[in-house]
Structure formats: structure tokens, C-alpha cells
Amino acid sequence: MDSPRPITIRAHDDGVNRWRMAEARPASALARHVRSYSAYDETTTGFTARRELASTGVVVIFNLGAPVELTGADGAAIALDAGEAFAAGFADGTSISRSGGSQSGIHIFMPWATLGRLCGCPVSEVANRVVRLDDLIGGRVSDLGGRLMEAGNDGQRFALLDAFVMDRLGESEAMDGRITAAVARLRARPDKSIRALADWAGWSPRHFLQRFRDETGLAPARFARLARFEHFTAAIAADPDARLADIAQDSGFYDEPHLAREVRAFAGVTPGELRARIIPGGGGFVDS
């Protein structure tokens, strides 16, 4: 008999907003394909809308509670009832999530290549968008959503997600490893030469650019800028009191004016305005 998987609980309650997250690793067979699962419940009276910042991350979330509304970076909105799910790819603009003040769900954290295999399409097709998962892969989503809601505990829900991901991986093929490696290298080193990456992949710069854009939805140079911006947003969320000049330097920006231009380009606000939107307790960024 398999032993229960370890589950880590994180919670926040400041008297205004509160949330609980139960986090766990996937089954060992999925270690390369899923980073973790996070089941969450939250009640917020201080805000009802979050800014989901431009990001090199990808998203699959099942809503297990009250209805929520999501607006992608492209401006298109969808509404999700309990048991429904959405997917989102790389985004170089802000998305918005809205609730009535309470929500519950499960977030699957995964490498971007896994998202393409779950959705059965290139990640470029969901870049800058929020897309209902059943529009991509059909009725099995509502069936899984119902079973997730009926499950007695988080461990059972995570096991259901393991089976779902395993099935989807068995129905798809892995993408070219050169693209996944190039994305990883640019995310880690946004200053990496695009020509050097093309040479490493064995392609011409033009062919590399086209293949990268076809798979991700973003040009390599745009992705590199986005990765640098994401380094900044992670740093400021972790330490809101840090000096902007220090964060700018640590994140790879030339100076504060360079930082200000990029934050304006990707978030539509100044660095100081973005810092003022931080939600305590790791809750993200509030929308105005």
C-alpha cells in the first residue's frame, strides 16, 4: 500500500484577508512533468481582484468554489463555475482575476512543455490568453472537475490530477528538446545571446526565432526581457522594503530608468506603484 504523500500547509490571516494552501509534489513518475500541486481556499475583504503579472510561467487551475472571472492579457474574459478549469500560457501583459471575495481551487504548477501536452496544442496558442480547458480537450475536464469536488481530501484530489496528467502525457509527444532547453537558458540568463542559442541549436538565427515563436508565442528577445522583469517582480514581492536600485541591479537591469521603462512596458505602472500593490503574505498583487 502506498504511503500518503507529504503535504505542506501554508496559511495567512491578517484579520482582513485569509487563505490556506495545501501543497504537494506529484507522483514520482511525473517529477519531470509537474512541479507541484496547490489546493487553496481564500476569503478576502480587502480586495476582490488581483493583477496576474506578465510571466514566463504557465497555468492550469481548476475552480472548486464560487464563480470567478478571468481576463487575459489580450483583454478577453471568461467566467468559470465550480468544476471548470482554464489554461494560460506565457504572457507579456497583465491578466486580471476577480472573485466575489471567496474562492477555492487547485493550481497545477508545471514546466511550460507540459502545458502544451496537456492542452494538445502549441503553447503559442494560449499565449497572452486564458482559455477554458474543456475548449481545448473536451468533456473529460468537467468529469475530472466533478470528481475533484467530490473527493474527500486534498490527497485524493492530487491523486486524481496525477492520473489526469499521466493520461494526457500518454496521448501526446514531447516537443523538440532544443526549444525547451533554449527557454530554460533564457529564463535563467536573460542576457544570453540569441545568436549563440541559435548556433547551439544548430539553426540559423532566423529559423531559431521562428521555431521559438511558433512554440512559445513570443520572440526570443521579448521572452528574455520578460524573464528579467519576472526576476524583478519575484524579488520585490519577497522583500517589498528593498531599495529599487539594488533590486534593479540584481535583476539584470542597467539602472533605475531601464527598470522603470520595462516595468511600465510589462505592468503599465511605475516600480513604486507596483510595489504599493503587493498583497501581504505572498498573496500576489492587488488590482485597483
| Model confidence pLDDT, tens digit, residues 168-197 | 999 988 889 999 999 999 999 999 999 999
Q: For the whole model, what pTM was predicted?
A: 0.94
Give the pLDDT band of residue 1 (cuts 50, 70, 90).
Answer: very low
Evaluate whether residue 153 is within a structural domain.
yes
| pLDDT given for residue 3 in this prediction | 63
CATH number, domain at 258?
A: 1.10.10.60
* Domain membership of residue 141 as a residue range: 8-170
15 and 116 together in one domain: yes
16 and 132 together in one domain: yes
| pLDDT given for residue 19 in this prediction | 95
Please, what's the b/e burial string for 148-172 (b: 16 or more CB within 10 A of its CB; e: otherwise)?
beebeebbebbbbbbebbeebbeee
24 and 154 together in one domain: yes
155 and 226 together in one domain: no
| pLDDT given for residue 5 in this prediction | 87
* Whole-Å CA distances, 63 to 60, 107, 196: 10, 9, 42
Q: Once rounded to an integer, what is the mean pLDDT over residues 137-164?
A: 95
Q: Does residue 88 carry a pLDDT above 80?
A: yes
CB 92 within 8 A of CB 262: no
Q: Does residue 270 carry a pLDDT above 80?
A: yes
Q: Does residue 219 carry a pLDDT above 60?
A: yes
User: Mean pLDDT for the chain?
Assistant: 95
126 and 208 together in one domain: no
Residues 221-230 have pLDDT tens digits of 999 999 999 9
Give the pLDDT band of residue 16 (cuts 50, 70, 90).
Answer: very high
Q: Once rounded to an integer, what is the mean pLDDT over residues 125-131?
A: 98
